[in-house]
Amino acid sequence: MLSNVITPMEMQSIDAATLGLGAYSTFNDAGIEGALCFIRITNDSDTDVYISYDGVNDHEFIEAGERIEVYFQANSAPTNYVSKLKKYTVIYIRGNAQSTGYIYVAGYYNE
């Protein structure tokens, strides 16, 4: 197998109507399949959402209709370490119940 190949993760989505009021739901119970160097979360719903990478703390806030992009490797400067979102990380989300639309997660990792 080739090394240093950028591979897209399987895109995940969640229906905003299934979000629990104040409680976290998961995008991916098994976690992401690779250590991500880039992640994009698109909130194509009518509610603001919070994203957590540990299921306890809020790490990202995304307004309705907006998206965030995180380039983990770019955040490693000036130490020049390799920075990635850990393999098997479960991504959690919370927002208002009875919302409409979907929230999507896409990302890329090195093989």
Percent of the chain with pLDDT over 90: 46
- Partnered with residue 94 across adjacent β-strands are 50
- pLDDT band at 39; cut points 50, 70, 90: very high
Confidence of residue 3 (pLDDT cuts 50, 70, 90): low
What's the pLDDT at 75?
Answer: 58
Is residue 82 situated within a structural domain? yes
**Looking at residues 90-107, what average pLDDT do you find?**
91
What CATH number is given to the structural domain containing 95? 2.60.120
Q: Is the predicted pLDDT of residue 13 greater than 70, yes or no?
A: yes
* CB distance 60 to 41 below 8 Å: yes
Cα dihedral sign, 47-52-57-58 = negative
- How many domains does the chain fold into? 1
For 30-54, what is the mean pLDDT? Answer: 92
Whether the per-residue pLDDT at 1 is higher than 70: the answer is no
pLDDT of amino acid 78: 63
Task: Tell me the residue range of the domain where 39 lies.
Answer: 6-110
Output the average pLDDT for the chain. Answer: 86
CA distance 37 to 44: 23
The arithmetic mean of pLDDT across residues 37-66, rounded, is 94
Per-residue pLDDT band for 94 (boundaries 50, 70, 90) equals very high
Domain annotation covers residue 28: yes
Whether residue 31 lies inside any domain: the answer is: yes
Residue 1 falls inside a structural domain:
no
